[in-house]
Amino acid sequence: MSSSKREQLLDAAIELFYRHGCHTTGVDKVLAEAGVAKMTLYKHFKSKEELVLAAAERFHDRAKREFEAAIASKDYTPRQRLIAMFDVLANWLRESDYRGCPSINLAVEYPQIDHPIHQAAANHKRQRIVYMRELAAAAGAREPQQLAEQLVLLLEGATVMAQLNGNLDLVERARATAEQLIEAALPENATLTDKSV
How do residues 91-100 score in pLDDT, each as one tens digit?
A: 988 888 888 8
Domain with CATH 1.10.357.10 in the chain: 76-190
Class of domain 1-54: mainly alpha
d(CA 112, CA 146): 27
Averaged over 51-61, what is the pLDDT?
A: 95
Q: Which residues does 63 contact at the CB level (< 8 Å), separation at least 6?
A: 102, 124
Domain with CATH 1.10.10.60 in the chain: 1-54
Q: Which architecture, in CATH terms, is 76-190?
A: Orthogonal Bundle (1.10)
Q: Give the tens place of pLDDT for each residue, 8-24.
A: 999 999 999 999 999 99
Q: End-to-end distance of the chain based on CA atoms, in angstroms? A: 36
pLDDT, averaged across the chain: 90
Q: Where are the alpha helices (DSSP H) in the chain?
A: 5-20, 27-34, 38-44, 48-72, 78-93, 102-109, 116-139, 144-165, 169-185
Q: Residue 2 — pLDDT band, cuts 50, 70, 90? A: very low
From the number of C-beta atoms within 10 Å of its C-beta (0-12, 13-18, 19+), residue 92 rates as middle
Is the CB of residue 94 less than 8 Å from the CB of residue 190?
A: no
